[in-house]
Chains A and B, each alone.
Chain A
Amino acid sequence: MTEKLATKRNPPKWSLWLRGLDEWLLIFQKVSGAILAIYLIGHTLVISTALGFGHPSQLTWERVIGLIEGPKVVGVAHVGTIIEYLIALLVAIHGANGIRLILMQYFGLGLPKPERHTYPMIPSPRKSPQLVYKYLVIAVVIVFIILASYVAFVG
């Protein structure tokens, strides 16, 4: 048998990507972005249908929105409320993390200056300004979850 050069790359180590906050933020950012894009299309279609595609009537609005809202599940929350609640959570994650990336990559806030380093050196994602950013993102999302839960299920 002759030896041949491989055409496929060595497979990745998934475990390497599932243990850091930066990697998880990246995963959340991508997944929430994709779901939000799909939701946006669905949302536009539903509202357009409810508005009768340019011929609004009270009846179609109530029928379509009633269908989407579904029955009540807990407290004042309908099935629709829960979907909206989950979407709002994704918006919070995507938005907070997005602002972090914009501030950092556009304005350079929190980026260290290159320096003459000694070993062991701390990579920039592990330096304090960037850690503050990441914990802020998490804090904002947690506060948002608490407020959103109150509005959706209690208020």
Chain B
Amino acid sequence: MSSVKAGLKIEVKRGTFTFRVKRYDPKTGDYRWSEYKVEVTNRQTVLDALLKIKSTQDATLAVRYSCRMGICGSCAMVINGVPRLACETKPFELGTDVITVEPLSNLKPIKDLVVDMDEFFEKHKSVKPWLIRRDEGEQFEKLDSYYVQTEEQLINYLEFAYCIKCGACYSACPMVFLNKNYLGPQALAAAYRWSADNRDEGYVLRLKVIDSDNGVWSCHYSGTCSKVCPKGVDPALAINLLKKSLLTGKPPAR
């Protein structure tokens, strides 16, 4: 029995695209461009195309990916000038015959399209992105009670919990470019996500990191992070809400 509805036609189109790939060579420390022509269907993604290039044209092309379905956050790269997930971007929907693919900006390259995410994860870690309880015994030993949460309380932070740590926002942020130590949109969105969780009691511990020159005050609100986020996390909103909390002295609504 087929679950496809009767009469539903799936139209498959084919087209050949030119991929201009910016590659970093760790041996020489230089960038160079490679060009590949590859045929894809309208149901395939940029990641599919890159993997096809890798298996049929150039096995040396380095790409990082894992889930191929927009969940793991490994495949973010700059496609036609905008950071996006390669596995969620279809060549047919980009509207250009030549597609440029570059590694994420604001991060150090490792090889070709693969970037070093260490500093990004370090910054994420620095905001203590986990559930903190005032009572350490309760947090680490007495794991026998449930914390109640209502639908309204969930919605206070749910939007920011969708982050898959892909780094697209970090790569798009002009302030991360200007201030190398700025925590960046992702880490601050994570700080808000945990601080706005009614089960968490760690807001004051995070303040030292959030309320600093490299924290929210490095944000000058270009909003680019929110516009490129593939998961609709809206880090700019999180940062603005954090600023509001700091300026009014009221902790995030939870």
Contact = CB atoms under 8 A, between A and B. Distances in A.
Contacts of B27: 1-3
Most B C-beta atoms less than 10 A away, residue of A1, A6, A10: A10
Contacts of A117: 159, 232
Q: Is the interface of A mostly helix, strand, loop or mixed?
A: loop
B26 A4 contact: yes
Interface of B: 24, 26-29, 78, 81-83, 102-110, 115-116, 155-160, 171-172, 174, 177, 180, 196, 220-224, 226-229, 232, 234, 236-237, 240-241, 243-244, 247-248
Contacts of B196: 114
Interface of A: 1-13, 15-17, 20, 22-23, 26, 29-30, 101, 104-108, 111-112, 114-117, 119-121, 123-126
A17 B24 contact: no
Contact of A6 (B105, B108, B226): B108
Contacts of A9: 105-108, 180
Contacts of B248: 106, 108
A116 B158 contact: yes
Given A5-B116, A12-B174, A121-B232, A26 B244 contact: no
Contacts of B222: 17, 20, 22-23, 26
B182 to A, nearest CB: 12
Contacts of B229: 123
A53 to B, nearest CB: 37
